[in-house]
Structure 1
């Protein structure tokens, strides 16, 4: 394939022999950290029966996505590098499917869309509680999750075609049919994977926070005259919902901070600015993206009381009856899906 078809603003510097092992170690260690953390999340929510709520199903799916991304990181950077492959169909598949980052960027796209789904589920529960149960059924959520993966694999398929492969040589140089098409694909990807999720989550969480504050104010006024058990139960569930919302807002902030540098650089590249895909700066932005797959378990550990209790239970630090009695009362309504 001719280099003349490459976008004029793309360059690629091959890292030095000293840089390559260091980069591989950094990416690999981040991947191992993500593997261990997200595996713990999956074990906790799947083994502790009373934690199997709809919201937690979505959170477990997020952990599975991040677990997959972390596994890809470990294999890609600590496994065989495949810089030179056989001049065959097998070698070209390795180059275009594996070395292109197609699998990783596909899981990253699933991660973004799944965060939006989690956000909309909480938004529905808080803002439109009467429609929440009918809108977010288990069957419908399963269909949504499968659709996330199918859309991601299709949307990121351009990575397969723009990888440079020639007689066994494989390099991550983006080759397009023409510059205009490459620019269109790049901008569309940044909008779909970063800008739209960022806007949707920003608006949704802002509205949720405002709604919960308004409901809290109303509860205080009513509480001066009426202190029945149902009111106390509702208040407890609302506090739990606020805890979940705070945790999810932190996940959203981590997503924005970790993805921002990489997506801004790639968008600038698509708009005509020069970008060296082999530079230290670009590698740092990709490291930040990989960190996002590892950071969520730490957020759950710090801010999610259900996860904290589940960890104590798994490691024998807390009795199951104590865990179930600490804020696990279930009632009908917008907060019954998540305590």
Structure 2
């Protein structure tokens, strides 16, 4: 059974409620129909009920009636959600009048449902930009306790079975933070370790990457990684984290024995944390293209509840997979709160 099948099986075994605010978008509806047919998640669609039902008929979808459909203009909790938005944002200039307008915006409504406990996670981005998806999420759901930032991870399925978990590694940050500070980099490391554990199902061994291994070079960029490594270890003493490490020292045991003898991570890393977004984004694309690897993501990390952003060029299958991933994120987050 491959990893995606494992992720889907875990979602089915502990069903979560995932809200899809782009409820009248064709790919979203088709993915929702498959998810409901396969019983992967309980689905909430935001949109005009009559339009959703007509589209479902037009597309030949048979399971949309099993979803909860929420009309953003008219539903039982509209006033309660508007009041919640006002309470959360009044110090930032929110007024009751403005909240009454924003609560009808599907991306805001989805986040308010999650904040209220009426949904466990959100998938959006087939029609909206990353900024539009993240803005209400950061304002309403906010980051998880102890997390100073949101980051984006990719699960990399490589053909090199000797690395990671049978060729599977997790890369971050490849999508969000251009130049994280040391505390932010430490947060990214902890969040990515959680992604590796909750979604890939592997015990994270986190390498904090640099162009230096254990003091082989001296530079302020290296100092940032050294400081971030120290902070991450203090934040999560039970997670295996080491740095600063060059990529070969992180992955290859022969190199690790020469450059970082005694390290419990070097040569065995399955989570690679990059010092900047520039490096992470370039690295994952090079591995994907030159190494003929599959990259699944970005999986947004560090939020208090799963909110994942899709590419506007996404497929039905992409949406299906990201809902299953969000279910696993939610299951993992709930487990850590117990």
Bigger fraction of residues in strand: 2
Q: Which structure has the larger Rg?
A: 1
Q: Pick 1 or 2: higher relative contact order, CA cutoff 8 A, min separation 6.
A: 1
The answer to whether the superposition gives a TM-score over 0.5 is no
> Normalized against structure 1, the TM-score is what?
0.21
> Normalized against structure 2, the TM-score is what?
0.21
